[in-house]
Amino acid sequence: MSSQSSTRQRLIQSALQLFITQGISGTTTRQIAEAAEVNEVTLFRHFGSKHGLLLGVLEESTAFQSLGQALNRHNQSAESTEQAFQEYASYCLHALEQVPDLIRSLVGEANQYPADNRLALGKRMTEVTQYMAQYLESFMAQRQLTPRFSTEKLASLLECLLLGYAVIEFTSEYHQLWNHQDDFLEHAVQMMLFGSIASDTVVSPIPQTTTVVADLPADTVHLILRQSKKQSTQDYALAYVLFGAGVSPQEVIGLLRSQQISSNQQHLLQVQGPSGSRQVAINQWIMGKRLGSYTANPLTKWLKSRKDNTPTLFIDDEQQPLTLPALEEQWAAWTEGMITLTGHPPHLKQTQQTWCIDMLMRGVTIDNLTLLTGWTLEQLHPYDQRAKEKGALEQATRLDQKPSSKD
């Protein structure tokens, strides 16, 4: 790579990172130049202005392309059309949640952009739509589904829904339009699918769904924890947080070092979720086994071993913030060869479900669990029912182990 090309790419990458963390309006050309280790004159020589640099980011950055390619790898494991669409939409929303300041700036300052910038932004949005359409076409072809509309139209509709959600979430508070991101996704996907796929492929309209709770047994959880420990210190810390704090995979990869609070009395996480900020305790006891103390456990040991300055709690091999695909790859390594009672490999989302059931079984009230999870009582009802089922089974088992008074 030539020196000129290298300088240009450094400016583009520095601008992208600053636009993501500070927004476009909150970022100055001097900050970008300093981050790229050049002077402002060099920036102006390459791009002319900040809007010229934004044009370079939109036209030359691989961020949009990488997102689309990553999304296209997620159509193999879904068991139903609805699950496939919902997982896909959830992944898209999580990507948008990583760049709220950039989204606010792109929306709020759009009328200030030159025509070239607006054309470039439109081109990038078209590319994302095309990736979505490719995903939908591949998924439907594999399952011999017949859409009533073109996959491009379906992809455009889904994109509008997701962008609309992101804009409302990032620009307003207390809107009370939906209780939780999962609530929005469930209903958005249902509305999009109903009437968009030919009736001979869908037996009946999609009903009001209920969450299917599939918690993992204790021996499986402990095996996953042991396998993660064999992988690396970070892997062990990741599994520990997933099973010990009840946070979702999306929330885990967004955690910052500053959001963990450790003392002799407690170990907490300050979690930024779709429903706002909440504190969650990291439990030392996981499914009947203790994994350390408040100040000496897999997470604190991982943090003490860190030599980098990356602010996020978990990172990849290049010391960049961990992504959801990377976390899923690590999960696959921990669970390789494992099969649950349903005949399927353990799924990453089962960590949060398992934690919820364990908390209820250990005496946490469903009202308190709403505070720890940010979910509604309605969302937690299936978990409460599952905990009662497990409690009944345990009681029946204990009775069978006691001799009858009549014997």
Across the 407 residues of the chain, what is the mean pLDDT of every consecutive 10-residue run? 73 85 84 93 90 78 54 54 72 70 68 70 74 74 72 79 77 65 76 60 41 86 96 96 93 92 91 78 92 94 92 91 92 93 88 94 92 88 91 85 60
CA distances 221 to 214, 288, 370, 386, Å, are: 13, 10, 23, 17
Taking a C-beta distance cutoff of 8 angstroms, is the pair 58, 119 a contact?
Answer: no
Tokens of 394: 């345990």
Burial category of 230 from C-beta neighbours within 10 Å (exposed 0-12, middle 13-18, buried 19 and up): exposed
Query: What is the CATH topology of the domain spanning 218-398?
Result: hpI Integrase; Chain A (1.10.443)
Any idea of the CA torsion for 340, 341, 344, 350, to the nearest 10 degrees? -60
Q: ∠204-207-210 over CA atoms, to 5°?
A: 140
pLDDT on residue 179:
64
Tokens of 216: 């993992």
How many helices (H) and strands (E) the chain has is answered by 18, 5
Residue carrying structure tokens 């669970």: 335
Task: Please list the alpha-helical segments (H only) found in 23-49.
Answer: 29-36, 40-47
Tokens of 285: 């006891």
Residue 30 CB coordination number (10 Å): 11
pLDDT on residue 125:
74
Burial category of 363 from C-beta neighbours within 10 Å (exposed 0-12, middle 13-18, buried 19 and up): exposed
DSSP of 198-242:
-TTT-SS----------PPPHHHHHHHHHHHHHH-HHHHHHHHHH
Tell me where in the chain the CATH 1.10.10.60 domain(s) lie. 3-61
pLDDT on residue 12:
87
Tell me where in the chain the CATH 1.10.357 domain(s) lie. 65-193
Taking a C-beta distance cutoff of 8 angstroms, is the pair 209, 190 a contact?
Answer: yes
Pick the CATH number of 65-193 from 1.10.357, 1.10.10, 3.40.50, 1.10.3470: 1.10.357
What region, left, alpha or beta, does residue 343 occupy, with left being phi > 0 and alpha being psi -120 to 50 degrees? left
Tokens of 329: 């790859």
Q: How far apart are CA 36 and CA 41, in angstroms?
A: 12
The reply to whether the predicted model has a pTM over 0.75 is no
Name the CATH superfamily for 3-61.
Homeodomain-like (1.10.10.60)
Tell me where in the chain the CATH 1.10.443.10 domain(s) lie. 218-398
pLDDT on residue 353:
93
pLDDT on residue 207:
40
Taking a C-beta distance cutoff of 8 angstroms, is the pair 334, 347 a contact?
Answer: no
pLDDT on residue 208:
43
- C-alpha closest to that of 214 among 353, 391, 382: 353
